[in-house]
Structure 1
Amino acid sequence: MSISRRSVMHTTALLAALAAIGSAQAADNWPSRPIRFIVPFSAGGANDLLARSAAEGASRVLGQPIVVENRPGGGGTVGADLVAKSQPDGYTWLISAAGVISNSQIKKRMPFKDTDLLPVVMIGLAPSVIVVPKTAPYQNLRDFVEASKQGEGFNFATAGTGSTPHFVAEMLNVKYGAKLQPVPYKSGSESTTAVLGGQVEGTSEASIIALPHILKDGKFKPLATTWTQRISAYPSLSTAVEQGFADLQIAHWAGLHAPKGTSPATMDKLAAAVDKAMREPATVEKLKALGIEPVGGTRADFIKFTDAERQRLGEIVKAAKMQEQ
């Protein structure tokens, strides 16, 4: 007995409608138990602090506890792999960073595909600050870049291959002819120590780490912030864009990604909760005082951002040959 084309189309449409209803019902019932935010880095950094602020605020909105778990390793791939292989039921989420975009462009092997993780919402960002020792003669980023072009160039501390400071160095090399040799350290705190000890000429570090050495103990001289806007906690520091480096735009951001297959309705619900949390006056005041800018937004906003970053950073990876050999 043959089945008509119209009958097949009707059945397909019916199944799609039932799936949509099921997804909506699942989102209505979600969350019914505690949620996990997986941070792929150690505690205390910008990614971790943003995760905990988002968890605290979103928990109040959703009416369920949100537990933050630190799973560092592999430049963020250990924690990301855990989430990529989790059940897409809305109870395990990744606190993502730039590595979720750039790692697959740089590393020889990845334990999961980029498409195994879906962008959900931006939480916020810690603008990067290019710093040198307080005794350095440079007054701004232009002075530093021009001086690096002389002789063998400068050593520039990074938190490892593919880290934000690594991208800052290569953006200056590729786009503006600087001569910066990236020197990889295990963490931002180690690279900070290298600058303070005079072992390297400079670095770029998250505002939350750099500002105490600028505003409190005065051991760093800041040259520029590399985000598109000035830092709320330090508005006197100009951006690299303002100093004529239009292509130097990068920050230590944190967002949320979900395992592939997670209900769109559930992702939208979490995105709305995080967005609301990032607009709470007490949260905004707390984060901005640390040098962190809360962002929030919609899932569509974050998808647009990650797509643009993937293309932009990919161009730098290729031009600077940042791929693992």
Structure 2
Amino acid sequence: MLHPALRAPLAALALTLTAVAAHAADWPAKPIKFVVPFGPGGANDLVARAVAEAAAKQLGQPIIIDNKPGAGSVLGSDIVAKSAPDGYTFLAPAGGIITNPLIKAKMPYAPDALVPVALMAVSPSLIVVPADSPYKDLKSLVAGSKQGQGLNFSTAGTGSTPHFVAEMLKVGAGAKLQIVPYKSGSEGVVAVIGKQVDATSEASVVTLPQIKGGKLRAVASTWNRRIAALPDVPTAQEQGFGNVFIGHWSGVFAPKGTPEDILNKMNAAINTALKSPELRARLIPQGIDPLGGSRADFVKFLDDEKKRLTPIVKAAQMKED
């Protein structure tokens, strides 16, 4: 027979579990929030908005985008990590969720405070130079960097995707690049157009309009396949730079403790959204590759990214500014 002192706590636990199960069954009963840890207008924000709109149709509730930029995406991530795990607040970050803990001396939330839900899309980086640059491909750019003082390469700050591309070229190919950090990838691209620097790497959604407008030339893409919008631009790997592989990916995370049923429902809604012809027609022409997959697929993707990028951080001695 159960001791009387144990009956109340166990009864309370049973009631809590029943309430959580009922909550998950009724979810979503009100609007959902996607916190984007960047300002509006960038690749991550664009993907989050497009997917949120399409997934909302599957869930029957609106998904509101809440931009919370700051501290290299740590500010927004911290807000979600400390939010109630009730299925109404999610994070839509990029690669910084992996690289920030590698680079920063201290993080404001625990490593397991955010749970992977779904991989949404990737916007490959394009390594670009001014339209009239003498460099026509990645090999000539790297070779040119080894002459004299080297070349200037703009980035969006320490740990940004363009910073990783520059370090991959330095570590793997011996490129002589002086890294020039800007506040954003867009500013780094403007610096290339204005010839304040010789090259950069930035998401295709940012660089494509400038390439098509005749202001930039793409010398390589940095994903594992050519992008549909620029089929004539070979990947870095195709040009012999096997270690240059990175993209501006976007995913969805939830606070730890969010019920499994809710995580699975959100994953299913995002996957259905990513397969819709309307969403694909919206993303693919901008160089954004809709991905999706199971929650386990996303966990493997994150593990692979961490294994691949950690040696670059160490070799380049990347530390927060």
TM bin (shorter chain): over 0.9
**What is the letter of the counterpart of residue 251 of structure 1?**
G
Partners in 2 of 1:317 and 1:214 — Cα distance?
Answer: 30
- The answer to whether structure 1 residue 113 and structure 2 residue 110 are counterparts is yes
Flag the 1:21–1:246 CA change in 2: closer, same or farther, 3 A. farther
- The answer to whether structure 1 residue 253 and structure 2 residue 249 are counterparts is yes
Partners in 2 of 1:184 and 1:139 — Cα distance?
Answer: 24
**What is the letter of the counterpart of residue 187 of structure 2?**
E
Partners in 2 of 1:176 and 1:213 — Cα distance?
Answer: 27
CA contact (8 A) 2:51 2:279 kept: no
Q: Quick one: which of 260, 283, 292 aligns to 1:264?
A: 260
CA contact (8 A) 1:288 1:294 kept: yes
The range that moved more, 21-30 or 143-152, is 21-30
Instruction: Name 1:127's counterpart in structure 2.
Output: 124
The range that moved more, 137-146 or 147-156, is 147-156
Partners in 2 of 1:244 and 1:281 — Cα distance?
Answer: 35
Instruction: Name 1:280's counterpart in structure 2.
Output: 276
Partners in 2 of 1:109 and 1:138 — Cα distance?
Answer: 40
**What is the letter of the counterpart of residue 160 of structure 1?**
G
Instruction: Name 1:50's counterpart in structure 2.
Output: 47
Q: Quick one: which of 170, 173, 176 aligns to 1:173?
A: 170
**What is the letter of the counterpart of residue 144 of structure 1?**
L
Deviation of residue 21 (structure 1)? 6.9
Flag the 1:2–1:281 CA change in 2: closer, same or farther, 3 A. closer
Secondary structure at the counterpart of residue 119 of structure 2: strand
Secondary structure at the counterpart of residue 96 of structure 1: coil
Instruction: Name 2:84's counterpart in structure 1.
Output: 87
Deviation of residue 27 (structure 1)? 2.5
- The answer to whether structure 1 residue 156 and structure 2 residue 153 are counterparts is yes
- The answer to whether structure 1 residue 291 and structure 2 residue 290 are counterparts is no
Partners in 2 of 1:119 and 1:289 — Cα distance?
Answer: 27
Instruction: Name 1:202's counterpart in structure 2.
Output: 199
Deviation of residue 24 (structure 1)? 4.7
- TM-score by length of structure 2 reads 0.93
- The answer to whether structure 1 residue 76 and structure 2 residue 68 are counterparts is no
1:41-73: CA deviations, max 9, x gaps? Answer: 011111001111111111000111110011111
- TM-score by length of structure 1 reads 0.92
Provide the identity percentage.
53
1:253-292: CA deviations, max 9, x gaps? Answer: 1100111111122111101100100100011011111111
Instruction: Name 2:312's counterpart in structure 1.
Output: 316
Deviation of residue 22 (structure 1)? 6.2
The range that moved more, 18-27 or 263-272, is 18-27
Instruction: Name 1:7's counterpart in structure 2.
Output: none
The range that moved more, 175-184 or 160-169, is 175-184
Q: Quick one: which of 231, 235, 240 aligns to 2:236?
A: 240
Partners in 2 of 1:231 and 1:39 — Cα distance?
Answer: 25
- Which consecutive unaligned segments of at least 5 residues does structure 2 have? 4-9
What aligned pairs does 1:28-43 form with structure 2 within 5 A after superposition?
Answer: 28-43=25-40
Flag the 1:197–1:62 CA change in 2: closer, same or farther, 3 A. same
Partners in 1 of 2:285 and 2:64 — Cα distance?
Answer: 24
Moved over 2 A (4+): 15-27
Secondary structure at the counterpart of residue 316 of structure 1: helix
RMSD: 2.2
- Which consecutive unaligned segments of at least 5 residues does structure 1 have? 4-11
Deviation of residue 20 (structure 1)? 7.7
Partners in 1 of 2:15 and 2:246 — Cα distance?
Answer: 43
Secondary structure at the counterpart of residue 119 of structure 1: strand
1:116-172: CA deviations, max 9, x gaps? Answer: 111110110111000001111111101101111122211100011110000000011
CA contact (8 A) 2:159 2:320 kept: no
Aligned length: 317
Partners in 2 of 1:186 and 1:202 — Cα distance?
Answer: 16
**What is the letter of the counterpart of residue 45 of structure 1?**
G
What aligned pairs does 1:213-228 form with structure 2 within 5 A after superposition?
Answer: 213-215=210-212, 217-228=213-224
Deviation of residue 26 (structure 1)? 3.3
**What is the letter of the counterpart of residue 290 of structure 2?**
P
Partners in 1 of 2:14 and 2:245 — Cα distance?
Answer: 43
- The answer to whether structure 1 residue 306 and structure 2 residue 293 are counterparts is no
Flag the 1:2–1:214 CA change in 2: closer, same or farther, 3 A. closer
**What is the letter of the counterpart of residue 93 of structure 1?**
F
